[in-house]
Structure 1
Amino acid sequence: MTLPTGTRTQLADLLRGARVLLLDFDGPVAHLFAGHPAPEVAAAVRQFATVHGIDLSETRTDDPLVLLRAAYRHSPESGRDVEAHVIEHETRAATVAEPTPGAHELIRTAIATGHTVLIVSNNSERAIRTYLARHDLTEQVAQIVGRPFGHPEQMKPDPHLLHAALDIARAAPSDAVFIGDSITDALAGTAAGVPCIGYAKQPERAEGLADADALVVVDDMHTLATALRP
């Protein structure tokens, strides 16, 4: 995606004008389920749920986090059991997850230009921490704000995680910019008052992010690293 000159300027102004960079994890930083595919994880979660008497048959999805939400609707105890199982799979996936091209460059460029970087994700902190350790990024990320165990209602699009990240960074919404790849990310950013940059690998995703009020949409994380450089 070649950005018009005005959009490139807007992107640079957004990134350089923020002292805090908030990053979603699965998508903008890594392809979490690249080596441990989400449909396989979903199938394993369904099997686990069936063995434990949790009926997820009406939830037709290959997204493990959608199944997690459904388990909590079954009962809080069922939800916690399923979530613990999901965390095991997320962490296993993190041991073989592939970096999103340009993401590590963006993180290191952000640190070099005086930004504070936090990861704000619906994935588990344990999985994210495993990935960062594999790639020597632990010290680059000030904090991980992951899915709060037992509280699926606090996952994006609810702004709770973004508010928590801002509190940790002692930042106002206008001091930050949030980079996400889903409509739920853009909605959470809007609800928290944080400007959102969308990352979209597919054109249809780009349209959805723009419709959800992402201020700029890019298809390459290298673009963001370049925009951050003086």
Structure 2
Amino acid sequence: MSMRVRPHVARVLARTHTVLIPLDGTLCDFFRGVDTAAIANGIYEMLFSAGHRMSVLTAIEPDPLAKMGYAYSVGPNYGAQAEEMVREAELAAATTAVPASGAQEVLQACRASGRRVVVVGDTCSAAIEAYLDLHGLRHLAEAVVGREQRPVLSEWPGADLARQAVKALGAEPFPNSLVLSPPSRWWAPTRPAVGEQGCGDRGQTQALQGGQIHHLTVQGRGSHFNRVTTPRSILSVAVSTLSAHE
């Protein structure tokens, strides 16, 4: 694979020794074809049948994780029931998730160049591991960090999961690390996961450059690191540059 890589992207990758790769949206389209709103509605019905009433905006919330968090705010037993519903859906989705083009090459390039890989996700670890096993990728990841390793009512789950990834590798903080991910609620515009300096693109996501974690994000026009718009393009940047530095 070959493509033009901007010098600042190459410099970040050349210094990278550890790569944090989120599952959904980067390694794969995890919920392709899954009606996630139906999962959220199932949580609503569980709460409603237990006699709990909520606002209209909360009732129509289509994100199962947001609805699960709400269930935990109602009570730990409700939260645990909601989490089990989400977990069952995630284990089923692991069998139908669609791999991102270039994802396997990224993992292989990281392995061949001696980089450590952690697959992270706001998904249960069992589902992440099931996906990796199904596609023959588990041996390429040194660790898996899933949702149960962050606080159930985490305000910034990605930040908390990144910290857990640090601990999983037995180093805190580990130097020169890279996060490959699309823009999402993973990264807060004012709260870096690790490191002191944040460089956001129009306040949406962070490039964490405190000498510790660099966030190379899939983003639209005007990306800090490169003009990339899809997981495939960001993975291509990573593959070509990682391979060049084996």
Specify the TM-score bucket, using the shorter chain as the normaliser: 0.7 to 0.9
CA contact (8 A) 1:45 1:85 kept: yes
Q: Post-superposition shift, 1:130?
A: 1.0
Deviation at 1:215, TM superposition (A): 4.9
Q: CA deviation at 1:175?
A: 2.3
2:124 is the counterpart of 1:124:
yes
Amino acid at match of 2:29: H
Deviation at 1:35, TM superposition (A): 2.8
Deviation of the 1:217 alpha carbon: 6.0
Residue 199 of structure 1 pairs with residue 218 of structure 2: yes
Q: State the Cα deviation string for residues 42-94 of structure 1 (Å, max 9, x = none).
A: 23333344344454554232211111111111112111110011000011111
Identity of aligned residues (%): 24
- Name the CA shift for 1:58/1:75 in 2 (closer, same or farther; >3 Å): farther
Structure 1 residues 149 and 177: CA distance shift in structure 2, 3 A? closer
State the match for 1:174 in structure 2.
175
Structure ranking higher in helix proportion: 1
In 2 relative to 1, CA 28–82 (structure 1 residues): closer, same or farther, beyond 3 Å?
same
Q: Which has the larger radius of gyration?
A: 2
| Contact 1:122-1:156 at 8 Å conserved across structures | no
Mean Cα deviation higher: 77-86 or 58-67: 58-67
C-alpha offsets along residues 128-173 of structure 1, whole Å, 9 cap, x if unaligned?
1111011001111111111127832346346222112112223435
In the alignment, is residue 138 of structure 1 matched against residue 130 of structure 2? no
Give the Cα separation in 2 of the matches to 1:96 and 1:169.
Answer: 29
Matches of 1:125 and 1:87, distance apart in 2: 9
The residue number in structure 2 matching 1:190 is 192
> Residues 150 and 158 from structure 1, CA distance in 2 versus in 1: closer, same or farther, beyond 3 angstroms?
closer
Q: Say if 2:149 and 2:164, in contact at 8 Å, map to a contact too.
A: no
Provide TM-score, normalisation by structure 2.
Answer: 0.77
Q: Is the 8 A contact 1:20 1:116 kept in 2?
A: yes
Give the one of 205, 216, 225 matched to 2:239.
225
2:23 match: 25
Q: Which runs of 5+ in 1 are unaligned?
A: none
Q: Decide whether aligned partners of structure 1 residues 70 and 197 sit closer, same or farther in structure 2, where only a CA change above 3 A counts.
A: same
Secondary structure of 1:196 counterpart: strand
CA distance in 2, matches of 1:51, 1:143: 39
Asked if the contact 2:163–2:194 (Cα under 8 Å) also holds between the matched residues in 1, the reply is yes
**Aligned-partner residue type, residue 185 of structure 1:** W
User: Secondary structure in 1 aligned to 2:192?
Assistant: helix
Mark the CA change 1:75 to 1:99 in structure 2 (over 3 Å): closer, same or farther: same
Using a 3 Å threshold, how does the CA distance of structure 1 residues 97 and 158 change in structure 2: closer, same or farther? closer
Contact 1:147–1:155, Cα closer than 8 Å, also in 2:
no
**Separation (CA, whole Å) in 2 of partners of 1:50 and 1:182:** 33
Match of 1:109 in 2: 109
CA contact (8 A) 1:110 1:117 kept: yes
Change (3 A) 1:119 1:79: same
Q: How many residues align?
A: 217
